Structure 1
Amino acid sequence: MRTRVVRVDPDRPDPAVLAEAGAAIREGQLVAFPTETVYGLGADALDERAVRRIFEAKGRPADNPLIVHVATREDVLRLAHPDPQGRWESLARRFWPGPLTLILPSRPVVSPAVTAGLSTVAVRMPAHRVALGLIEAAGRPIAAPSANRSGRPSPSTARHVIEDLAGRIEWILDGGPTGVGVESTVLDLTGDRPVVLRPGGLSLEQLQETLGDVALHRHEIDPGEVPRSPGLKYRHYAPEAPVVVLEGTPRAVAEAIRRRLAEIGPSGTTPLGLFVSDETLSLLDGQGVLPAPGVRVKRAGARHDLEGIARRLFGALRELDRARPALILAEAVDERGIGIAVNNRLKKAAAGRVERCVEPP
């Protein structure tokens, strides 16, 4: 299959290009497109055959539900029943368009392939002119997971989509790098207490300001259970190389890396990838630990710049992986704001391999 890659201005996308891509959606084709979070792989959410093609292209398990992207709040009511408390409306007024996905009771019009057979549907309105223009041009709600091979780091550029899906889908709309860098926050509104199933681009603190009491789901589901949200059941966001997450202060993390490098030895025969903060890199440089043979470094940024770290995360993991390291060490960030989502993605990529680093004496 030939994949057509079309460059679009993220601020002023060409209406003719959007019209053609929208027609492709109506015809059952797959179109990758930018959102403010990551690139999505879109199909007509009301066309079961087209939706199943998403799973085939990605190699995605069929019990992993999809998010439906809409262009208006009225579209939500065609797909879902509102929660009795009316919480979805106050959230939509404040945070849409934006990186927030809401889980609501589904209406029969939504394909079971989208919901993985659940009685709920996940919906959101993306804050990106290309994404909204495509939905409007298609005249359909668009089901769209991230536009990558299942399990791989999510795509924050069109290049990442091409790496994973060229030859498997019909269209890629290249709108440049995404702004947030991690996926949307998924909030379940089907119970009495709202629950964040997947932390993302909208922080827990922002949700609590609007709703008050909001829980954060922190546990894996049972292997036989159908997940209510993407990102709950399977290994996600992972490069080919194994990943270990390092938790601790910059001094503690730098010491853990120094010990690892001492184990490797001067030959550098065991390549190592590092995704660490500026503060940790400064300590390693000051100790004469870096640069070192066989070590590839991607700068995460300053520890306080959680938004910047989130933007760089998936691209850094992909770039480190191209060097085929034997191991990638990634530094955890503070558990606040979007940092909760960054740590969630890192620990998913590491399949739970976390090292708690101790301050040197």
Structure 2
Amino acid sequence: MDTKVWEINIEQLKHDETQDKLDEIKTALVYGEVVGIPTETVYGLAGDARNAEAIHKIFSAKGRPGDNPLIVHIHSLEQLDDFTVQRDSRVTALMNHFWPGPISFILPLKGSMLSGKTVAELSSVAVRMPSHPVGHAILEHVDFPLAAPSANLSGKPSPTDHKHVIDDLNGKVYGVVASDPATYGLESTVLDCTQYPYRIARPGSITKEELENVLEETVGKHEPGSEQPVSPGMKYKHYAPRQPLIVIEGGIRSKAHFKGYGTQKIGIIGPETVREYAPNEALFISLCSSEADYREAARNLYAALRKMDKSEADVIFIHGFSKNEDSEALMNRIYKATGDKIIKGEQE
């Protein structure tokens, strides 16, 4: 059976034309179904975070490893009181500043309200409050916490449009909301607040500097390891097309990068300014207008990877952007997608 599609965009929401559809979505979620919903980062595959059967459906549809915890989505701070330990005032200050928005906080778990499968049997839970008007409206209407990892097959590029969800999960999930696409295009920043100083478990649109400006304290970073992850995106290869994907560290600067691949069809992903280095027969997808436009590149990254995945390219090269705080989340996803397949940039 095909996945049901509800069309709910921001304009319809403003004019109160969505009540019946919101009721249908709530009913599906109450009965343990899973639904693709929009957020400002990527589309999420939402299910009742309290319901072990719903969480099993999320893991099963995605093919997701069971030790990879899910982020719980809420619409109000008051909901946190039901399943997290009382917050430190510094955490509350961060939430008041950045929520609703693209950041998740890992907090100590309280009680047994959430399914153990939601948190991968950890004693902590990652929580966020999305700012996408339609996603937020769904959370308000449902009024219980929703676990919602990215609505894609595990390991594949995350979806930034409902059509991407249908491509991956049609017939595997109950429904998807067709809405305005994600504006950020990369998953949320995840800040681990179970230890002090707080540590970034996954970089995202909200940077270390922005967090430190609010806290007026230093924020650390989780070092990669083989232990059970406390946040999505810490352990497994993610975001990858089916073809080999190679990052050119230091950026695409020469046609020489692409020599030695014989008759293989080459795909290239990068800023418009490096198109001149693409061989004539290569498929080139532009991520952004300039090499410094990291936000535009981030917003377009997953769509570009999905387009390449469907193309005739045999091998894909991607531009390695300059490494700085503003590009950290973008380069984190690129390295995850390549599985750290790297070649050094060459100058002409």
Q: TM-score scaled to structure 2, two decimals?
A: 0.94
C-alpha separation between the residues in 2 aligned to 1:342 and 1:127? 20
Q: Deviations over 1:97-132 (max 9, x none)?
A: 000000000112111101100000000000011111
In the alignment, structure 1 segments of 5+ residues that lack a partner are none
* 8 A contact 1:196–1:217 mirrored in 2: yes
* 8 A contact 2:33–2:174 mirrored in 1: yes
Answering whether residue 295 of structure 2 is matched by residue 307 of structure 1, we say yes
The equivalent of 2:107 in structure 1 is 104
Aligned mate of 1:25, from 26, 29, 40: 29
C-alpha separation between the residues in 1 aligned to 2:305 and 2:223? 23
Q: Secondary structure at the match of 2:10?
A: coil
Give the partner amino acid of 1:299. Answer: S
Q: Secondary structure at the match of 2:107?
A: strand
C-alpha separation between the residues in 1 aligned to 2:40 and 2:248? 28
Shift of 1:338: 4.4
* 8 A contact 1:66–1:143 mirrored in 2: yes
The equivalent of 2:316 in structure 1 is 328
Answering whether residue 277 of structure 2 is matched by residue 273 of structure 1, we say no
The equivalent of 1:352 in structure 2 is 340
Structure-2 change in CA distance of 1:202 and 1:166 (3 Å): same
* 8 A contact 2:33–2:173 mirrored in 1: yes
Q: After superposition, where does 1:249-288 map in structure 2 within 5 Å?
A: 249=251, 253-255=252-254, 258-264=255-261, 269-282=263-276, 284=277
C-alpha separation between the residues in 1 aligned to 2:312 and 2:122? 39
Answering whether residue 134 of structure 2 is matched by residue 130 of structure 1, we say yes
* 8 A contact 2:250–2:322 mirrored in 1: no
C-alpha separation between the residues in 2 aligned to 1:262 and 1:230? 37
The equivalent of 1:297 in structure 2 is 284
C-alpha separation between the residues in 1 aligned to 2:243 and 2:133? 35
* 8 A contact 1:310–1:338 mirrored in 2: no
In the alignment, structure 2 segments of 5+ residues that lack a partner are none
Give the partner amino acid of 1:277. Answer: P
Aligned mate of 2:97, from 94, 97, 101: 94
Answering whether residue 169 of structure 2 is matched by residue 162 of structure 1, we say no
Shift of 1:11: 4.3
* 8 A contact 2:102–2:131 mirrored in 1: yes
Q: TM-score scaled to structure 1, two decimals?
A: 0.91
Instruction: Tell me how many residue pairs correspond in the alignment.
Output: 341
* 8 A contact 1:11–1:129 mirrored in 2: no
C-alpha separation between the residues in 1 aligned to 2:258 and 2:52? 51
Larger mean CA deviation between 203-212 and 22-31 belongs to: 203-212
The equivalent of 1:5 in structure 2 is 5
C-alpha separation between the residues in 2 aligned to 1:278 and 1:319? 17
Q: Deviations over 1:174-204 (max 9, x none)?
A: 1132100000000000111111111112122
Q: Secondary structure at the match of 2:149?
A: coil
